[in-house]
Amino acid sequence: MTARPTPKLLPRNIAALRQGQDPASAARTIVGNSVSTRLESGIGNFFPGLECDLRNLERRFFPFVEVDTDFGQIIVISVDAAAAADSAGISATDIQSYRTLEDDIRRGGRWTVRTMAGDFGPLGPQTVTIADLTGVSFGDDRRPADAWVAIRMLRENSLVTLTLTRVSGPGEITLSGLRSRYLDANGALARMFEPGELTQSLCSPWTHDFRDCACFYWASNHPDIALPPLPVPAPPGNALQWNVDTAWERLDRSMQSPPIANALGSDQNPPRNSRVVPEMVHHQINRDWQLLNFVLERREQVTPYTPSNKNPSQAGPLPDLPTLIKHLRFAAGVEIAVMLEYLSAAWSLRKPDGLPQPLQNDLRAAFAEIRRIAIGEMRHIRAVNDVLAHLMPAGAFEPALAVAAEIPDGGKYRPLAFRSATIETIEDFVRIEAPSESVDGLYAPIYATLAGGIGTEEQVQSIRTVMSEGEDHHQTFLFIKEWLGRHVPDSVFLAGTDLAAPPATNGAHKTLQRRYRKLLEGLYDGYKAGMPRGAVSVNAARNVMLGSGGIEGALDSVAAKGFLAVFDPIADPRFASITRPNP
């Protein structure tokens, strides 16, 4: 009987990394390392939040003391003097101070933190007066922005000294202790936190707050807008009035005509009804929540669900591991190629400052969203390389950073091309992202192969996340097409419809190519080293992307010269062109 293989878990959080670095833990499964560990897997809010309220961690940042950050103050809520007395290394003077605080607070006394001295991470060691924190933190020798940020920035296990003052009446106490560790070695919350403490201050998301939250606040599986349910018999697939988003919690639940809360569109866009769709009021949501329909594939469902061709597990799996690896490497190359095309298009848009409305806002939104999508493609490159690294034998992994020579486009392939963001170009981007979750999408055979047994659950979920975000990119490009399509001709929103690539000798162009190569080299070094050793290189690569000193600044310079930003091929075999594998 063969031994059961040890499951592979890729460490993605601090606790998992600690365990992975411990030789004694090498044969053990790492606890608390779920597929949703990464920030992009969560909703990202913390107040008011849906997953946890991070402020509740900082309530216990100092040993044996519970605090609350309230309107710029740090207020002492409770003190556990008995636990302090039982702890080794606490001086008799500090134990007495803990007892004094505990007794006075029980009698109604109110204490706040006046000053805090400690190591504030990137801001360095300093002493801050809480009342002097203004909410602004810029420049050299800056202080934390506010009380909560000050606590948040303290280095774990570093020495912290608090000066506490009584709110009314005389009294001052100084305490020193190590900034608490919130997790134990296994990645679980430390025992000082009570069950339910991290979620006790959250909003009530399935009742009143759902009605008032802004669009896109909720996770994709808790929609506030969706496509309306189809009547029976279903209308033709091109019946545009049934393919426009509407309010999920609308008061009108009729099936006769879809209630659409948007302005009238042009001939190129779905027809829009200008009337406002009334939504359920708070007590109606509590009473009639059962009337809110399930949403699958962005549409409300009122009949038995039949899976569409968007189920990627229906795709045919690849024949073997070597073929899977070839497809993953090409997929990473496609992510790089489309990212480059998106950046080129984004920087062909006019600068919005000084332009009339609504053109100004439409340009700001279009540029920001294309930039966001390009950053999303960078995350996809990381995800694909993570999967590849754990499919390869030890020491055999070579990062996938070659640029695809061809890009999937509506079931066909076309060469990589740099163009201005005309409506035709945006339509092209819509087609690129459209099949993200379909059986004919780039990742469908990869997903089916991993789900069929070659991959781990984490690898399957990583690829599923990439596909899901591709669906989001598709929807966003539809929005961008709508925003820019309001303005005709294309020259209204473009810096130029016939922008040319700069000559090879152009200084701004050469700077862009140099920074682009530096980005790829940093990613290569970081991916090759693996985590956590490669973290420094990966972070350096990220810094090459952003700001005036990064790729963004170089793109600004190229655009300011009146050229179209392009990215030249790189001869280095690590980054050279890669062709798609045979079907």
pLDDT tens for residues 120-161?
988 999 999 999 998 888 777 889 999 999 999 999 999 999
Q: Please, which pLDDT band fits residue 439 given cuts at 50, 70 and 90?
A: low
Helix 507-529 with 535-545: angle, nearest 10 deg: 160
How many percent of the chain have pLDDT more than 90? Answer: 48
Q: Please, which pLDDT band fits residue 197 given cuts at 50, 70 and 90?
A: confident
State pTM to two decimals: 0.64
Residue range 186-210: mean pLDDT, rounded:
69
Asked if residue 35 has pLDDT above 90, the reply is no
What tens digit of pLDDT does each residue of 325-378 get?
999 999 999 999 999 999 999 999 999 999 999 999 999 999 999 999 999 999
Cα dihedral sign, 217-219-224-230: positive
Mean pLDDT of the chain: 82
Residue listed under structure tokens 């039982």: 86
Per-residue pLDDT, 471: 83
Q: What is the rounded distance in angstroms from the CA atom of residue 428 to the CA atom of residue 467? A: 18
Per-residue pLDDT, 370: 96
Maximum mean pLDDT: which of 50-54, 63-67, 209-213: 63-67
How many percent of the chain have pLDDT more than 70? Answer: 80
Q: Are 315 and 448 within 8 A, CB to CB? A: yes
Tell me which H or E stretch contains 508: helix 507-529
β-bridge partners, 577: 403
Q: What do you get for the CA distance between the two ends of the chain, in Å?
A: 38
Per-residue pLDDT, 411: 75
β-bridge partners, 27: none
What tens digit of pLDDT does each residue of 6-31 get?
444 455 555 555 555 555 544 444 55
Asked if residue 174 has pLDDT above 70, the reply is yes
Tokens encoding 545: 């992307």
Residue range 70-99: mean pLDDT, rounded:
91
Tokens encoding 399: 């990062």
What tens digit of pLDDT does each residue of 475-491 get?
899 889 989 998 999 99
Radius of gyration from C-alpha coordinates of the chain: 28
